[in-house]
Structure 1
Amino acid sequence: MKNIFRTKPIESLLAETKGKNSLEKSLGAFELTMLGIGAIVGTGIFVLTGIAAAKYSGPALVISFIIAGLACGFAALCYAEIAAMVPVAGSAYTYGYAALGEFWAWIIGWDLILEYAFSVGTVAIGWSGYFVSILGDLGIKLPDIITKAPFEGGLVNLPAVAILVVITGILVAGVKQSATTNNIIVAIKLAVVLLFIVLGVRHVHPANWHPFMPYGWKGVFSGASVIFFAYIGFDAVSTAAEEVKDPKKDLPRGIIASLIICTVLYIAVSAILTGMVPYLKFNDTAAPVAFALQQVGINWGSALVSVGAICGLTSVLIVMLFGQTRVLFAMSRDGLLPRVFGQVNQRFHTPVKSTLLVGIITMIIAGFTPISVVSELTNIGTLAAFIIVSASVIVLRKREPDRPRSFKVPFSPVTPIFAMIACAFLIINLQKVTLVRFAVWLVVGLIIYFVYGNSHSVMNDEDLASTQDAAK
């Protein structure tokens, strides 16, 4: 129970990146930007736009995207500063450890496990929806028993499980292979999104934008909280910090560039989507972009978008599953979780054991859980992580003002404070049942920390060594 707020020196964190269990450095600014786009452009456009438009925002989905994008923009600047200064695997977990202490690091690490595990589940379910749709267009109809979760009238979502088996294998093989695969898939995905914009803009009917705000501002803010999931991805870039060749320059570039590109695409797609089809028609579809093209008679475009969506969601799975494994790896290397998952395989130079564990857990989530549950749980975990990172920037500016910073958040501490306020506001606008589930998750995490994590922390060894040196 003692020393739960002890911080881990940045020098100690940096030293870990050079040891036996350090990760291979092979990524540059381009790969990071593509990783960010790979994670961001996917579920938000291809899956959640329909849900958010029908149930929350209506045509005002555009405003919801802008609000969520602003919140992410503030947080992205905070990530850029601290990721360049502490280029170590673990993202917000590692930053919290350096700035706020072990207890808060555990809290945010546990949140990140929730974020990434359920985001992978959400995306895999969306991937399955598009896959089943493509097979349907080809005249092959899969039975509900193997394409839907038990709560939705099926037994298991088998396509969702199958794609995670493939992605897990790619991540085990190595980060270079993963990045190359992601680059190819992202190029296809961007081409498909641009194709939808070109085809769809010709079929926009302004009448479909009325009423523009059917659920009022409450709906707009709730919609922003839900489609906030669409922006998750730039934080996944920071989980790759330890594998970047020049983190001081490349990390800020990758984080900020990917967010700007994706925000522009989101605003354009959401405006066209709700202009093509009345928003209420999206209520029962997990593939809104393809559905919109079908409704206006562009069936070949619908089929092409479905293929592009499959590629897009695959890249999201690669990056999100990658991020999850790096957080688990960092927490295990620090001893807060079993250290066996903090080992790097000497053949593949990847954390194979943590990758396999994450793969199995996400397969269970994707195969047996409805999409509406997993997407909102992802959002609250991410928002909590953003708050911690923003606070860490303020604390480290105060505690270590002379430490070199290759990128600085403008107008600090105002910008980090705005980021925290915006994220807290979005949390408040989530459904109450989501807040309850999150609270339960935190309680479980606290039990694990006090029963196992605190007593097995590697910081205990460092504290003991310091005490012995002092005694001499």
Structure 2
Amino acid sequence: MSESSLKRSITWVQGTTLTIGAVLGCGILVLPSITASNAGPVSLLSWTLMSLLAFPIVLTIAQLAKKIPSAGGIMAYIAHAFGAKTSALLSWVMLGSIPVGLPTIALTGAYYVNDLLPTNRWGVVCIAALILLTSLLFHVKGIDLSAKVSVLAICLILFLLVMAVIVAFPYVKISSFTPFAPHGWFPVGSASVVIFFSFVGWEMITPLAEEFKRPGRDIAISLVLGAGCISVLYLLVSFVTIGTHAYGTSNGMASLSMLVAKGWGHSGIIITTVLALFITFSTVHANIAGFSRMVYAQARAGCFPAKLARLHPKFQTPVHVLAALGGAFAFILLLYGTIALDLENLLKGPSVVFITSYIFTMLAALKMLKSLTIGWFMALLSLLITVIVLFFSGWAIVYPVALAVVGAVFLHLKKTKRTND
């Protein structure tokens, strides 16, 4: 095997768990409660709507992955549709997603642990650092080991979530669903915008295409099964949250704790903490997998420094990208520990980056797929959804624009240097 070739070892089972891990975040612990508090029982309709709308995005990405099975993922699709320059600029925009977003997610999981075992802010930072470091070390060893770890983590997460629903289900009351829309029907739309961010991350499976044993078949299976599993989980948790009226408290994590406490009493908070920790790790783990391969592929294409395109001589993993990610994670955590940045604001920038990447991906799909086919219409519907959500981004829209400018400067200087040489 060539040193520049990634090892093919991922099956559809591992691909499905990596997909679930990339999308299923800590939002499932708090968003059903938040949306129910803001909209009432009608929020269940918002969850149903967004679950259904996730499938056009997933199926569009699956078709593109089958057409171009590359470690470049969505960057490869955009390069094919709009040229290498557009892809290179979007690659720089994507640099502002995972390096900032994952430390924030790790901090969220660390705060769940802090609720059970109180410590200070730097203690929370250390817990988050441990989550990130553990995942990075697994990825250095290879995607096969990382995928197996993901299978184990997702199985435990699914077990705990299903158990939470089962123990709470007997306490569901029909009266909890009336009035169904206490604040009117407009909150269905506003709740859907919040819920949309629980359905991002599908694109992180596509950069692993060169490491799937059968990418043409298994990527589509992984995406569809992952979407189905996540949609069912979200709907079940939302249903029992509303049905047991486990919402309306000031504690962000109270929703699932209250559900589990229905059957397990005070130990429910311990179970919720363990669940939050595993969900956090799984999300971090799957997104590092996809993002590191995307950066590696773009460095291989000349968009980033060539050093990032080097693989580990033994494990055939993008170790230089992983090391760079480790440095970025450390910077964000140190920044948070020093000046206590707001976690919600930290997530706004990466969220807009993901929305921007979806818009370009769907535009690429409209150009690459045959016009007026089912796939083409799915891409059009997905484009409309993401554009509407982008309008609610506010000041954060400046973030991807700034990253694109930095990328343009780098690529211009590189071109100038190459010309002078």
Whether TM exceeds 0.5 here: the answer is yes
**How far did 1:217 drift?**
4.4
Q: How far apart, in 1, do the equivalents of 2:149 and 2:390 lie?
A: 34
The amino acid that maps onto 1:24 is K
**How far did 1:63 drift?**
2.4
Aligned to 1:468: none
Aligned to 2:20: 37
What runs of 5+ residues in structure 2 fail to find an aligned partner? none
Q: How far apart, in 1, do the equivalents of 2:305 and 2:184 lie?
A: 48
**How far did 1:288 drift?**
3.4
Change (3 A) 1:366 1:289: farther
Native 8 Å contact 1:276 1:296 kept in 2 = no
Q: How far apart, in 2, do the equivalents of 1:19 and 1:221 lie?
A: 51
What runs of 5+ residues in structure 1 fail to find an aligned partner? 1-17, 136-140, 148-156, 402-408, 462-472
The amino acid that maps onto 2:286 is V
Aligned to 1:227: 195
1:5-16 to 2 correspondences below 5 Å:
none
Q: Please, which of 219, 223, 231 is the counterpart of residue 251 of structure 1?
A: 219
- 3-state SS in 2 of match to 1:245: coil
Q: Report the TM-score, using the length of structure 1 for normalisation.
A: 0.80
The answer on 1:427 being equivalent to 2:393 is no
Native 8 Å contact 1:394 1:413 kept in 2 = yes
Q: How far apart, in 1, do the equivalents of 2:151 and 2:107 lie?
A: 22
Change (3 A) 1:318 1:455: same
**How far did 1:19 drift?**
6.0
Q: How far apart, in 2, do the equivalents of 1:454 and 1:226 lie?
A: 38
Q: How far apart, in 2, do the equivalents of 1:412 and 1:233 lie?
A: 20
**How far did 1:311 drift?**
1.6
- 3-state SS in 1 of match to 2:7: coil
Q: How far apart, in 2, do the equivalents of 1:262 and 1:232 lie?
A: 11
- 3-state SS in 1 of match to 2:109: helix
Q: Deviations over 1:183-219 (max 9, x none)?
A: 1111111100100110111223444445544554443
Change (3 A) 1:210 1:90: farther
1:328-407 to 2 correspondences below 5 Å:
328-366=295-333, 368=336, 369-397=341-369
Q: Please, which of 119, 131, 142 is the counterpart of residue 119 of structure 2?
A: 142
**How far did 1:233 drift?**
3.3
Aligned to 2:268: 301
Q: Please, which of 95, 105, 126 is the counterpart of residue 123 of structure 1?
A: 105
Q: How far apart, in 1, do the equivalents of 2:285 and 2:16 lie?
A: 14
Aligned to 2:141: 173
The answer on 1:413 being equivalent to 2:372 is no
The amino acid that maps onto 1:83 is A
Q: Please, which of 7, 10, 14 is the counterpart of residue 27 of structure 1?
A: 10
Native 8 Å contact 2:246 2:258 kept in 1 = no
Paired residue total: 414
Q: How far apart, in 1, do the equivalents of 2:258 and 2:252 lie?
A: 7
Change (3 A) 1:335 1:51: farther
Change (3 A) 1:215 1:100: farther
**How far did 1:320 drift?**
1.1
Q: CA-atom RMSD, angstroms? A: 2.8
Aligned to 1:443: 401
Provide the identity percentage: 21
- 3-state SS in 2 of match to 1:160: helix
Q: Please, which of 58, 68, 75 is the counterpart of residue 57 of structure 2?
A: 75
Q: Deviations over 1:439-465 (max 9, x none)?
A: 2x23322322222125547xx89xxxx
Aligned to 1:405: none
